[in-house]
Chain A
Amino acid sequence: MKLAFLSGKGGVGKTLVSTNFARLIPEAIYLDCDVEEPNGAIFLKPQIEQVLEVKVLNPEPLPELCLGCRRCVEFCKFNALAYVGQIMLFAELCHACGGCWKLCPAEALRAKERVIGQLELGRTGELATRTGLMNPGEATGVPIIKQLLHDLPSEKTVVIDCPPGSGCSVLESLKKADFAVLVAEPTAFGLHDLEMVCELVRFYNLPAGVVINKHTEDLAEVEAFCARQQLPILGKIPYQASTAALYGAGKLLVDEDVAAKELFAKIVTTVMEVATDETARHLKR
Chain B
Amino acid sequence: MKVAISATGSSLDALMDQRFGRAAYFLMVETESLEFEAIENSGAAAGGAGIQAAQKVIDAGAQVVLTGNVGPNAMQVLQAAGIKIYTSEPLEVRQLVEVYQQGGLKEITTPVAAHSGMKSGNA
* Chain A residues in the interface with B (C-beta under 8 A): 73, 78-80, 82-85, 88, 90, 93, 139
Residue of A whose beta carbon sits closest to that of B83: A84
Task: Say whether B48 faces chain A, with CB atoms less than 8 Å apart.
Answer: yes
Asked whether, in the complex, the Cβ of B47 is within 8 Å of the Cβ of A84, the reply is: no
Asked whether, in the complex, the Cβ of A83 is within 8 Å of the Cβ of B48, the reply is: no
Asked whether, in the complex, the Cβ of B80 is within 8 Å of the Cβ of A84, the reply is: yes
Main secondary structure of the interface of B (DSSP, over half): helix
Contacts of A80 in B (CB 8 A): 48, 51
Q: Measured between alpha carbons, how far is A73 from B48 in the docked complex, in Å?
A: 12
For the complex formed, measure the closest distance between the CB of A104 and the CB atoms of chain B, giving whole angstroms. 18
Contacts of B49 in A (CB 8 A): 79
Q: Measured between alpha carbons, how far is A210 from B77 in the docked complex, in Å?
A: 49
Asked whether, in the complex, the Cβ of B52 is within 8 Å of the Cβ of A79, the reply is: yes
B48-81 interface mask toward A, CB cutoff 8 Å, 1 = contact, 0 = none? 1101101100100000000000000100110011
Main secondary structure of the interface of A (DSSP, over half): loop
Q: Measured between alpha carbons, how far is A83 from B80 in the docked complex, in Å?
A: 10
Asked whether, in the complex, the Cβ of B73 is within 8 Å of the Cβ of A90, the reply is: yes
Asked whether, in the complex, the Cβ of A93 is within 8 Å of the Cβ of B77, the reply is: no
Task: Say whether B45 faces chain A, with CB atoms less than 8 Å apart.
Answer: yes
Asked whether, in the complex, the Cβ of A82 is within 8 Å of the Cβ of B77, the reply is: yes
Chain B interface: which size bin?
A: 10 to 19
Q: Measured between alpha carbons, how far is A90 from B45 in the docked complex, in Å?
A: 15
Contact of A93 among B51, B54, B80, B81 (CB under 8 A): B51
Contact of A78 among B47, B58, B76 (CB under 8 A): B47
Asked whether, in the complex, the Cβ of A82 is within 8 Å of the Cβ of B47, the reply is: no
Asked whether, in the complex, the Cβ of A90 is within 8 Å of the Cβ of B48, the reply is: yes
Asked whether, in the complex, the Cβ of A90 is within 8 Å of the Cβ of B51, the reply is: yes
Q: List 16 A-B contacts (CB under 8 A).
A: A78-B47, A78-B48, A79-B47, A79-B48, A79-B49, A79-B51, A82-B51, A82-B54, A84-B55, A85-B80, A88-B76, A88-B77, A88-B80, A90-B48, A90-B73, A93-B51
Among the interface residues A73, A84, A93, which one has the most CB atoms of the partner chain B within 10 A?
A84
Q: Measured between alpha carbons, how far is A90 from B72 in the docked complex, in Å?
A: 11
Contacts of A79 in B (CB 8 A): 45, 47-49, 51-52
Contacts of A73 in B (CB 8 A): 55
Contacts of B73 in A (CB 8 A): 90, 93
For the complex formed, measure the closest distance between the CB of A68 and the CB atoms of chain B, giving whole angstroms. 12
Contacts of A88 in B (CB 8 A): 76-77, 80
For the complex formed, measure the closest distance between the CB of A73 and the CB atoms of chain B, giving whole angstroms. 7
For the complex formed, measure the closest distance between the CB of A227 and the CB atoms of chain B, giving whole angstroms. 37
Contact of A84 among B45, B48, B52, B77 (CB under 8 A): B77
Q: Measured between alpha carbons, how far is A90 from B52 in the docked complex, in Å?
A: 12
